[in-house]
Amino acid sequence: MILLTGGRGAVAIQLLALLHADGHAVRVGSGRPAELPLPAGVSAVACDLKDPNTFPAALAGVTSVFLYAEAASINEFVAAATEAGVEHIVLLSSSSVLGPAANPIAKAHLDAELGLADAPMTVSVLRPGAFAGNARSWAWAIKADRPINLPYPNAYTDPIHEIDVAAAAYALLTTPEQRGEQHTLTGPETLTFTEQIDLVAEITGRTIVVDKVTPEAWKQQMADYMPAAYADGLLDYWRLSDGIPTEITDTVATLTGRPPRTFASWLEENAAEFTS
């Protein structure tokens, strides 16, 4: 039995589809399991990664876990997984851990990694960079014909399709060859935000204006949508990536046997989100 935590997350949803299609026994955990739309034969279970009381029932009979990075109760999760006889954990971390440790985004993921460092079961770590789906944050402005405000329009990212992250997790969960390692995942190309928005405009046929704003103005604009520490972490990451291309890896191809999908392909699949 494989337990997927974070059942409403984009990667978990794609991973569930892959595992279910190939007939693997899957259980999906969430803080609100009743809200999960699941295929027939897949059960939902309460698994709040901040509430250790939910761990024993979620882990009963489980041999492998796909784990979102939440460090709040990571020691308790390891203890419960050990008690349940879990043999393998695939942790969804972030490539931010390879940057400055003081960055709050990096620290949150690194704390989860460190919490698994001495775990008795095999631990595999996936470290994706920027998800292609982050482009959804521009959709409202595009549909409203308003400018997209960016503090660092020439910052580079490495947009990776969520399906490719899920496919990498699938490979680790179902084949033993590369378990127990850290894997940095990227898309096939590094693009500035300006280049990504140009692709959105090309594929959707929309006219999109980008306004460069100060980091302080952007943080104030986002105050109602994200914690200040998280906004600071993003600003620090973008500042360090301003004008500096991201290093691209071949990890997706190595794990899955196929090259990663392009950002343009993600846009073509999701174009309606920017136009309807």
Q: Of all helices (H) and strands (E), which one includes residue 111?
A: helix 104-115
Q: What is the pLDDT of residues 43-102, one digit of tens each?
A: 999 999 999 999 999 999 999 999 999 999 999 999 999 999 999 999 999 999 998 878
Same domain for 228 and 104:
no
- Dist. CA 6–CA 69, nearest whole Å: 9
**Domain presence at residue 31:** yes
Domain count, the chain: 2
**Domain presence at residue 256:** no
- pLDDT given for residue 41 in this prediction: 87
Same domain for 8 and 123:
yes
**Domain presence at residue 255:** no
Range of the domain at 229: 130-159+187-246+262-276
16 — phi, psi (to 5°)? -60, -45
Average pLDDT over residues 218-246: 94
- Dist. CA 274–CA 137, nearest whole Å: 10
Residue with tokens 């014909």: 145
Looking at this protein, which amino acid is placed at residue 208? I
**Domain presence at residue 175:** no
Instruction: Give the torsion through C-alpha atoms of 208, 213, 216, 217, to 10 deg.
Output: -60
Same domain for 144 and 116:
no
- Dist. CA 81–CA 57, nearest whole Å: 10
Q: What percent of the chain lies above the pLDDT cut of 70?
A: 100
Average pLDDT over residues 5-21: 96
- pLDDT given for residue 100 in this prediction: 87
Same domain for 201 and 109:
no
Q: What is the pLDDT of residues 138-183, one digit of tens each?
A: 999 999 999 999 999 999 999 999 999 999 999 999 998 889 999 9
Query: If DSSP codes are grouped into helix, strand and coil, which group holds residue 225?
Result: coil
In this prediction, residue 21 has a pLDDT band, given cuts at 50, 70 and 90, of very high
- pLDDT given for residue 177 in this prediction: 84
Same domain for 238 and 216:
yes
pTM of the model: 0.95
Q: What is the CATH number of the domain that holds 149?
A: 3.40.50.720
Same domain for 104 and 207:
no
- Dist. CA 148–CA 142, nearest whole Å: 7
- pLDDT given for residue 180 in this prediction: 92
243 — phi, psi (to 5°)? 75, 5
Q: What is the pLDDT of residues 188-216, one digit of tens each?
A: 999 999 999 999 999 999 999 999 999 99
Same domain for 232 and 220:
yes
234 — phi, psi (to 5°)? -65, -45
Tokens coding 10: 């984009």
